[in-house]
Amino acid sequence: MATKVQPFFNGIIEGFFGIPWDWSARLAAVDFLGTTADSFYIYAPKADAFLRRRWREPYPDSVTSHLRELSERCRSRGVAFGVGLTPYEIYLNYDQPAREALNRKVVELNALGVTWLAVLFDDMRGDFEGSAELQARVLADIAGWTTADRLMLCPTYYSSDPLLEKVFGRMPPGYLEDLTRIIDPRVDVFWTGEKVISGSYTAAHLDAVNRQLGRKPFIWDNSGSNDARSRTERLFLNPASSGWTLPRDLASGVAFNLMNEPYLSLLSLRVYLGLLLRANTSKKPLDSAALFRSTCLEVAGANVGGLIVRDAARFNSDGRIGSADGQRNNVLEDYEAHEQEFHARDVCNWLRGKYVFDPACLTI
């Protein structure tokens, strides 16, 4: 009997710091993902306190209604609907009251129709004895309560980047091996690569991670995000220009954590997906400039798309563009002439300084 080929999942994890996407942008993202195979949307904005520091509290009715609409849109478009839950500082005291509070949160998420549940232990300390065992215990409890058909885990140390130990404490010896040995082998484990923000992924690195985790990693890709201190004033629109690659056969999927600017993020997502498809189906050399240009024109139209093609490299390298010579005002005027268009509006808001660094982002 032939071995069943497992699908490679690709989608969005809204997992960045700073200003989150609004609900209409999230629905637009799901509409696009519905045109692609094996797609998902994981709602996990750092700004949602009810999934993080206030996870013990129920959602306000106003947020619940939006999440139900998002869940229904995912269902109608054939997109898996996920939520990322960070039981913040649960390691301090996982006693019976904490366990009951966690149960209530999972039941609340069940009622929203969550089909993928990501349990996220990032952004909290892990430098204590028994951290792997405690996190595995929490995950096992959640697995017994959730109605989601896919369970995912982000460990505290989700990359081989030494930066994580500088921020969250020294990783206990054998932490990853112990954690992934204890948990169910069907649980996906997020991994960001050799760095917290990895420009690409090599086969040698993913092979090593596979052996370490006892499963193919599920890539959490931060290369297109701009919430870090060094990246807030830049737009990452064209991953093709930096040589982004991912050997798809060595990962179980990829979750793109994108920019604070939603519609520009969806534009770059199309380029990422084009790179994935091309790398795994074509032997011809990639014309990255042509891929980016055609994507911009198709998505944003001739006028705005043409402006983005013109300015993308400078937006990436020079930040919001210096105003001393009037260049910034000139560029802003170009986009203001088309501000009714979503991508142009994103650029205008970015140039005006709407998106600023969130100091809660500690890692970069």
Query: Which residues are part of the catalytic machinery?
Result: 123
| Token representation of residue 153 | 């885990």
Give yes or no for a contact between 223 and 194, defined as CB atoms under 8 angstroms apart.
no
d(CA 249, CA 219): 12
| Token representation of residue 103 | 């149960």
Distance set, CA 109 to CA 68, 118, 313 (Å): 10, 11, 41
d(CA 208, CA 132): 20
What is the widest separation between alpha-carbon atoms in the chain? 69
The 3-state DSSP class for residue 81 equals strand
Give yes or no for a contact between 279 and 331, defined as CB atoms under 8 angstroms apart.
no
The position carrying tokens 């112990």 is: 178
109 closest CA partner among 155, 43, 25, 206: 43
DSSP H/E element including 152? strand 150-154
d(CA 271, CA 287): 12
d(CA 64, CA 34): 22
| Token representation of residue 349 | 């808001």
